[in-house]
Structure 1
Amino acid sequence: VKLPTLALVFSLVATILPAQDPSLPANLDVTPGSLTLEVGATTMLSALVTDSNGQRIDDATVVYFSRARRSVGINAAGQIEAYRPGTFVVVALVPTDPEANPRRAEPILQVEIPVTIPNPPISNISFQKLQGNFYAETTVPLVVKVVDSSGVQRHDVKVNYTTSDESIATINRFGHLHLHTTGEFRATAIAEAITATARIVVLPNPASSLELTSTVDDAVTGEVVRFNTVIRNLAGQVVSDMPVQYAVFGEPNADIIASGSPAQITRDGRFVAERSGRFTIVSTVGTRAVQRILDIRPRDVTQQIEVVGHGPVRDRHTSDLWVWEGVDGRDYAITGTWGADGHAYIWDVTDPAHMSIIDVVRVDARTVNDVKISEDGRVAVISREGASNRRNGIVLLDVSDPVNGVSIISRYDDQLTGGVHNVFLYENHVFALSGGRRYDIINIEDATQPTRIGRFELDTPGHGIHDVWVEDGIAYSSNWSDGIVAVDVGGGGAGGSLQRPVQLGRAAVHPNGWNHAAFPYRSQSTGKFYLFGGDEAFPYGDETFSEGQPERAAGWIHVYDWDEWNDPKEVARYQVPEAGTHNIWIENDILYVAYYNGGLRVVDVSGELLGDLYQQGREIAFWEAFDPEGFIKNAPMAWGPQPHKDHIFVADHNSGLWAVRLLPKTPGPTRNLGEPR
């Protein structure tokens, strides 16, 4: 085990003015005051609390927390462990209330300790995808995999390339291998002091003619068009293993000024346009090229949105929602509350224009963050955080007859005392997050006697979990820095079950660790399986979370083509500038996004998905909940959407429950970002 390197060994001292009582804490001295740790290393902080006379206070409480707990951890004793490279801060404080949560404690004294975790050295570099033939007069993009000593694949390391014979081949700084003539040489890739070498034989170029085909000759913005290059030799035979380079140049419609980047084409020939116009696709094989022209029309999906009803909640923050048809045929909704007194509201939404609260459940909690309803509409599960006795867990409710009252069936908090942030109900089982670390699987076939039967937790350093969604026997958990993890709980074909979950695959979502939500979806128009992953981030520091001020989020929706568990491919995104995603729902090839300060977004996700969906004119409608009497006035903060019976219900963090609907499509100019109206 490598010992931690202490970059700067000195003390940080926090001091307050002399107190009236000289025995009260006046100074907090933490050693070391700054440190550098290698990934995987640990060290201890030492804290000394003294009074105004400089006397040690032996029974003073010092608590610790990390401002980036998924990158550097610290326990109650002050032991720090380095998980991921970067520069971070841990905090030591003397709390006013020793029983308070360290992150929320009001400090008497507080000290910040900078922690630097350098990147581990590179341990391996290897060439990838070098199978097949290499031909003279062609260019091949080289792919290398760089791994450091902690086992992490690195994308931030400069790789240098050389060849043993530059008359045969050269490699530019981007890793493009240019093959000049026939012969044999060695290609070398160097990352730090580690090298990889590949022997390559260059064959004569057999290409004699090229033909470029496409699936269609005209399309709309956002529609994926596939191009294919047929290569033939002198004998007219097809050559299938030669590298093809695609390029596109376009002429946007004349009335689109300063259009930006109007289109893209991938290495395998998939084209998509963000702007309407005429585009020329060029296919190059060695010294030969062929081109084809494609006409692109604006996508016309815009609809108007209409507010139908509002169920105001203005004295506290609203959290999530669930809307369902009750056993009696009426429509109901349940909403939670955040940072308040543990309320959950049950609504009659049969008439969305006149929604009303018909019952209120209050539990011992500050936050009821999540609410879900069983498939038969009889049982609700609500989550608890911030219980007064720190026994949080879940509460099961009887919602079989909401009009005549909702009652508590049972409470379950065994090994869930750290707080339950999110839950999911699947076939009489509750998937409950435990302390942001794992999910437990709880059998509620007898709702009066919930029983844990399984659990799943990652084994990665500093791992966390925010959400879980279950469909067709597969659980999709959202794990911040660890991305989205698919787990077989009975339907994944890997032998998993509710009692014994088995991991299927993982899709890394964001290098900053923003993965917050996931929604699996089988496209109705293409049959392709997509995984939609949402970010959550508040990167603007003091600009947000100020009392009474609107909050500002960041992040976007990542779209994965995940037909193969071991090979998820991020193919598209939906990103609204200057706002951030929260919860999502997809139904009938329409994506509904609660985009926090960007409001509700309704997006066309039909067809194959590629590129920037926002720029392609796929947005059907958007709506923001401005409420002049809201908990924070006129501050839209969409938390969760759910379509139900031709309406879209939206929980807004600052104003409660809303019902809106899309109006029928009317003829006229389309509203497409960057397109003239």
Structure 2
Amino acid sequence: MKKIFILSFILFLSAGFLQAQDLTLKVNSDKVKMKIGQTVQLEAAVVDASGKTVTDREFIFYSRNSRALSVVDSTGFAKAIKHGDYDVIVISPGDPQLRSNISVSIKPAAISKVAFGEIPNKMYAGVNVPLTIDVMDEAGFERPEVPITLTTSDESKVAIAPFNKLIVKEAGKVTVTASAGGVSQNLDLEILENPIAQIQLTSDMVEGRSGDVFTLTAIAVDKDGNVIKDAPINYSFTGESFDVSAAPSGLITPEGKFVADEPGLYILNATCGPAAASVTVQANNRNITRKINLIGQGSVNNKHTSDLWIWEGVDGKDYAVTGTWGADGTAYFWDVTDPAGIQLVDSVKVDARTVNDVKVSEDGKVAVISREGASNRKNGLVIIDVSNPRDAKIISEFSENLTGGVHNVFIYKNHVYALSAGRKYYSINIEDPKNPKIVGEFELDTPGHAIHDVWVHDGIAYSSNWTDGVQLVDVGNGIAGGTPSNPVQFASYAYPSGSNHAAFPYKDEKTGKFYVILGDEEFPYGLDPSGRKPSRAAGFLHVIDFTDLKNPKEVAWFQVPFAGSHNFWIEDDILYAAFYNGGVRVVDLSGELLGDLNRQGREIAWIVPEDPDGYVPNAPFTWGAQPHKGHIFYSDWNSGLWSAKLEPVVPTNAKIDQAK
């Protein structure tokens, strides 16, 4: 979970002030108005029934968008960073605990710049051109909401269409002007006669499956057969679904890559002015669905379960460790050698309310668990000897610099990467697990930056930094000269929702594509603070193509209706993803990825853990999933540890034999 997860418990509160017993938390009743760069001291007070101020109360201030409105928690000193309307949560701990919120409006800065995006080197008559226009303000922020007015110096040559499109009619020179917020920018164009007489179009395949990517090659030639290399080709498609109850659906990119969501026949078109060509392709049913069977459960019904880790012990048997959330600081150890007979074999209890994350070293000898909510506020991590999981023993505890609770950890080559206060992560050497020591750290310098998770693979740390997206950091890979003591960031990607909660790298060996799957975590429906009512989440998985590290781009996504993603794992081209109230989803990632993976029929199977004896009965809220030796293990917030198994793929010839 995360800081925002905890804060979402209080999102039900309205503006103004909240009364509890005879005390009232009083805050600014009017919206606080600020300018970018301005600082304001937010005020709050607790008063009794007679209106007298209670002087011994403490206050905590939280900004719901720290990258736009930075607030120092303990003092309420706020700084306006980005324009917009925001809420600041105010909490007064004590008996009773009081909560309210302050509304803040930050005035936008004046428009300073209007800029045209990239345009073709040559513009041909008869070829319409969409324009990209960026509007910036004096604070350096893009302002897409500001209306743009486009005009042309000669309507007979270039006319303006809605949504910033140019209708290019005749050859000649013309000036297009973009205006926004009192600022203008000119674009001088020279329109050329269109030399394109024909387009030659081919596809790399004519038959595939839904979800397969068809790659088009379009060559434009003039009347003499000469190739025009810079011809601006536009791609489109029409189709006919094999299922009369489903509309043909798919995606085609500006580069000429097409993927079908629905099985059917599709006509793929390439045009450039009056020249056009098309090819017909067939997308068959992907037909990869497999049955998934529930195998076993290790029930935990007296508290919430958090993350899990499965590993092979030094004795050759298989084990699991699970954490607990909002409870008593217990981590459980399980024997899962027989997935149908999961056995609780030991537990470790530490000073914490939440053991959010659990990890085990590559050699299966050392486990690390995270701590949040310690009674003495010395949160940190606990290192445990699990060479015999039936007798797990604490080796050491470490809390140096790990303030505000450790939400997530990762073990990689004798180093623990541990989060601190949701802001950074430290690299901690545990070659001597009795004497861990910090050797390095990584933190962004962006306004209001935050971090939720760090995952390390092949010497690269993938940190999920909410609004800053995923950060790829060399901690020993060598790609950027980084080490555990000198982490070096070399690539990143952020997406608009700002909800990047988890990341997992994946390389398709057949295509050579390198992806990083990024997961959202969102709770737009709210959560029950007591944890005693069923909950729903939102958010989905984003597939980012990092094959070109300097130009990562989002190419595909996987979404489950009315459910939200949490933790996930990839093995042998298959994704195992926990989707909270949507259970575990098993997804085919083979081949090039493009578009809506769920609509394409790439979901292999799903299973939802429902337990009438759960902490919240029959309320699945799956936290994480991990494949291990042919089984799928997953933890559920309300019911503990589970195991399942996919039925094997039936070979094609076996189907023929059965039919006979």
TM-score of the aligned structures, taking structure 1 as reference length? 0.90
Partner of 1:175: 164
Q: 1:296 to 1:513 in 2, by over 3 A?
A: same
* 8 A contact 1:161–1:175 mirrored in 2: yes
Superposed CA deviations along residues 557-578 of structure 1, whole A, max 9, x for unmatched, are 0001112233211111100110
8 Å CA contact 2:537–2:580 kept in 1: the answer is yes
Q: Provide the C-alpha distance between the structure 2 equivalents of 1:51 and 1:626, rounded to a whole number of angstroms.
A: 46
Match of residue 673 from structure 1: none
Tell me if the contact between 1:524 and 1:589 (Cα under 8 Å) persists in the aligned partners: no
- Structure 1 pair 211/456, CA: closer, same or farther in 2 (3 Å)? same
DSSP-derived class of the 1:464 partner: coil
Contact kept in structure 2, 1:596 and 1:638, CA below 8 Å: yes
User: 1:46 corresponds to which residue?
Assistant: 43
Distance 1:12 1:317 in 2: 33
Note closer, same or farther for the CA distance 1:264–1:322 as it changes in structure 2 (3 Å cut): same
Pair 1:13–1:637, CA change in 2 (3 A): closer
Offset of 1:151 from its aligned partner? 2.7
Quote the Cα distance in structure 1 between the aligned partners of 2:592 and 2:484.
33
Distance 1:14-1:247 versus aligned 2 partners, 3 A rule: closer
Report which stretch shifted further, 31-40 or 493-502: 31-40
* 1:23 corresponds to: none
Q: Could you tell me which amino acid in structure 2 is paired with residue 45 of structure 1?
A: L
Deviation sequence 1:512-535 (CA, Å, 0-9, x none): 321110111111331100010000
Stretch moving more, 176-185 or 389-398: 176-185
Q: Structure 1 CA distance, aligned partners of 2:284 and 2:197? A: 35
Contact 2:219/2:227 (8 A) holds in 1 = yes
> Judging changes above 3 Å, is the alpha-carbon distance between structure 1 residues 378 and 492 closer, same or farther for their aligned structure 2 residues?
same
1:70-117 CA-partner distances (Å, limit 9, x unpaired): 5433321221223444322223344325xxxxxxxx52x444221123
Q: How does 1:190-339 map to 2 (within 5 A)?
A: 190-253=179-242, 255-257=243-245, 259-260=246-247, 262-339=249-326
Letter in 2 for 1:608: E
Separation of aligned partners in 2, 1:619 and 1:263: 17
> CA 1:621/1:29 → structure 2, altered by over 3 Å: closer, same or farther?
closer
1:540 maps to which residue?
A: 525
1:418 equivalent in structure 2: 404
| Amino acid aligned to 1:535 | D
Q: What is residue 367 of structure 2 aligned with on the other side?
A: 380
Contact 1:379 1:399 in 2 (8 A): yes
Which residue pairs with 2:611 in the alignment? 627
Runs of 4+ in 1 over 6 A off after TM superposition: none
- Is contact 1:70-1:464 (8 Å) kept? no
Q: Tell me how far 1:601 sits from its aligned partner.
A: 0.2
Query: Which range moved further: 85-94 or 174-183?
Result: 85-94
**Alignment counterpart, residue 159 of structure 1, candidates 128, 148, 172:** 148
Deviation at residue 207 of structure 1 after TM alignment: 0.8
In the alignment, which residue of structure 2 is the partner of 1:672?
Answer: none
Shift of 1:244: 1.0
Match of 1:458 among 422, 441, 444: 444
- Per-residue CA deviation, residues 24-44 of structure 1 (Å, 9 max, x unaligned), is xx4544357420223443200
1:537-576 aligned within 5 A: 537-541=522-526, 544-545=528-529, 547-576=531-560
> 1:129 maps to which residue?
118
- In the alignment, the residues of structure 2 paired with residue 163 and residue 576 of structure 1 have an alpha-carbon distance, to the nearest angstrom, of 46
* Structure 2 Cα separation of the partners of residues 375 and 586 of structure 1: 17
1:582-621 aligned at under 5 Å gives the runs: 582-621=566-605
What is the alpha-carbon distance in structure 1 between the residues aligned to residue 292 and residue 388 of structure 2? 32
> Alpha-carbon deviation of 1:420?
0.5
The whole-number CA distance in structure 1 between the counterparts of 2:139 and 2:460 is: 30
Q: Is the 8 A contact 1:475 1:487 kept in 2?
A: yes
Aligned partner of 2:645 in structure 1 is 661
Distance 1:53 1:271, change over 3 A: closer
Secondary structure of the residue that 1:353 maps to in structure 2?
coil
Paired letter, 2:608: E
TM-superposed CA distance for 1:155, in Å, is 3.8
Q: For 1:310 and 1:329, how far apart are their aligned partners in 2? A: 21
CA contact (8 A) 1:524 1:588 kept: no
Residue aligned with 1:541, SS: coil
| Equivalent in the alignment of 1:102 | none
Distance in structure 2 (CA, Å) of the matches to 1:13 and 1:471: 48
Counterpart residue number, 1:22: none
Aligned residue for 2:4? none
Shift of 1:184: 1.5
> What does residue 10 of structure 2 align with?
none
2:112 and 2:238 mapped to 1: Cα distance? 41
2:253 maps to a residue whose letter is: T
In structure 1, runs of 5+ residues without a counterpart are: 1-10, 20-25, 98-105, 669-677
After superposition, the CA RMSD in angstroms is 2.1
Is this contact kept in 2: 1:140–1:243, CA < 8 A?
no
Task: Give the 3-state SS of the residue equivalent to 1:234 in structure 2.
Answer: coil
User: Which residue identity lines up with residue 525 of structure 1 in the other structure?
Assistant: K
Amino acid at match of 1:663: E
Change over 3 Å in CA distance of 1:556–1:92 after alignment to 2 = closer
Give the TM-score taking structure 2 as reference length: 0.92
Distance 1:13 1:572, change over 3 A: closer
Structure 1 range deviating more: 496-505 or 350-359 = 496-505
Once residues 620 and 347 of structure 1 are traced to their aligned partners in structure 2, the CA distance between those partners, rounded to angstroms, is 28
2:473–2:490 contact (8 Å) kept in structure 1 = yes
SS at match of 1:606: coil
In structure 2, how many angstroms separate the alpha carbons of the residues matched to 1:234 and 1:203?
A: 16
Q: Which amino acid aligns with 1:90?
A: V
* 8 Å Cα contact 2:404-2:420 kept in structure 1: yes
Q: 1:416 to 1:289 in 2, by over 3 A?
A: same
| Structure 2 residue aligned with 1:92 | 90
Q: 1:302 to 1:93 in 2, by over 3 A?
A: closer
> How many angstroms apart in 2 are the aligned matches of 1:437 and 1:355?
37
CA apart distance, 1:447: 1.0
Output the amino acid matched with 2:317: R
Q: CA–CA distance in 2 between the matches of 1:315 and 1:272?
A: 47
CA distance in 2 between counterparts of 1:40 and 1:457 reads: 23
Q: Distance in 2 between matches of 1:618 and 1:352?
A: 26
Q: Is the 8 A contact 2:327 2:354 kept in 1?
A: yes
| Partner Cα distance (1:122, 1:501) in 2 | 38
Following superposition, the deviation at residue 161 of structure 1 comes to 2.2
- Cα distance in 2 for residues equivalent to 1:605 and 1:495: 31
For residue 296 of structure 1, report the CA deviation from its aligned partner: 1.3
Show CA shifts across 1:477-515 (max 9, x none): 111112112222232523332222222222112x33211
* CA distance, structure 2, for counterparts of residue 252 and residue 619 of structure 1: 20
Give the secondary structure class of the aligned counterpart of 1:37: strand
Q: Distance in 2 between matches of 1:468 and 1:660?
A: 27
SS of the aligned residue for 1:408 comes to: strand
What amino acid maps onto 1:63 in structure 2? Answer: I
* CA apart distance, 1:666: 4.1
User: What is the deviation of 1:622?
Assistant: 0.3
Structure 2 residue runs of 5 or longer lacking an equivalent are 1-14, 653-660
Give the corresponding residue for 1:114. Answer: 103
Partner in structure 1 of residue 383 of structure 2? 396
Contact 1:32 1:46 in 2 (8 A): no
Paired residues of 1:32 and 1:45 also in contact (CA < 8 A): no
Deviation (angstroms), 1:546: 5.7
The SS at the match of 2:619 is coil
- Asked whether the 8 Å contact 1:134–1:242 carries over to 2, the reply is no
Moved more, 131-140 or 462-471: 131-140
Q: 1:195 to 1:361 in 2, by over 3 A?
A: same
Q: Secondary structure at the match of 2:128?
A: strand
SS in 2 for 1:456: strand
Query: SS at 2:340's partner residue?
Result: helix
Q: Would the aligned equivalents of 1:160 and 1:173 in 2 still touch at CA under 8 Å?
A: no
Distance 1:150 1:357, change over 3 A: farther
